[in-house]
Amino acid sequence: MSDKQIKNIKKTLLSDNYYILNKVTFDYLMASGEWVNQMREVYDRGDGAGILLYNKQKKTVILTKQFRMPTYLNDNIDGFLVEIAAGMLDKDNPEACIIRETEEEVGYRLKSVKKVYEAYSSPGVMTEKMHFFIGEYTDDMKVNDGGGLDSEHEDIEVLEMPFENAVNMLNNGEIADTRTIVLLQYAIIHKLLE
């Protein structure tokens, strides 16, 4: 898309309660050559990072389980999701963010991580770009029990499990978080734990 295909962008703030929700109107040049006026509500919650933690020796992964109100409101019976460790960048670079979030959420202090993807989470409504990482952990990297920060009212259950169990959960629909699905599939395709 070039600047010649979009013009007259106007933003109206709808909410600045926790994140930012704007009503955005703009003129868009269709492939037919016709200009049309369009409106979108755009939610800006910042960018995030997530990581699949794996242990080659034990052939295990670490995932988390936590309550997610939006899923509860959309047919997730108990509202809990099994997920990768993840968090908002909070003005950090993605690598520093995911190292911080790993320690806060699951209690492991990583020395290095590998970025494998970067993608938009829900591009029809959100500005968020997710940075996807993998990181190898060992038992000696454990520095606390994890669980998240009390100051953020996080209540995170840490799940260390055989990779095979995580793949079974993925295949039978017990894992419904897209970020987690992406990284588990990455691990399968790239044979991380073989």
- For residue 1, is pLDDT > 60? no
Mean pLDDT (whole number) for 4-32:
95
Q: How confident is the model at residue 64 (pLDDT cuts 50, 70, 90)?
A: very high
Q: For residues 61 and 54, is the Cβ–Cβ distance under 8 A?
A: yes
SS3 156: coil
**What is the DSSP annotation of 92-114?**
S-HHHHHHHHHHHHH-B--S--E
pLDDT at residue number 133: 98
Say how far residue 193 (Cα) sits from the centre of its chain. 22
Query: Cβ of 174: how many Cβ atoms within 10 Å?
Result: 12
Domain boundaries, the chain: 3-44, 48-189
pTM over 0.85: yes
Q: How far apart are CA 12 and CA 23, in angstroms?
A: 5
The CATH architecture annotation of domain 48-189 reads: Alpha-Beta Complex (3.90)
DSSP state of 64: E
pLDDT at residue number 153: 74
pLDDT at residue number 2: 60
Mean pLDDT (whole number) for 118-138:
96
pLDDT in tens, 70-116: 999 999 999 999 999 999 998 889 999 999 999 999 999 999 999 99
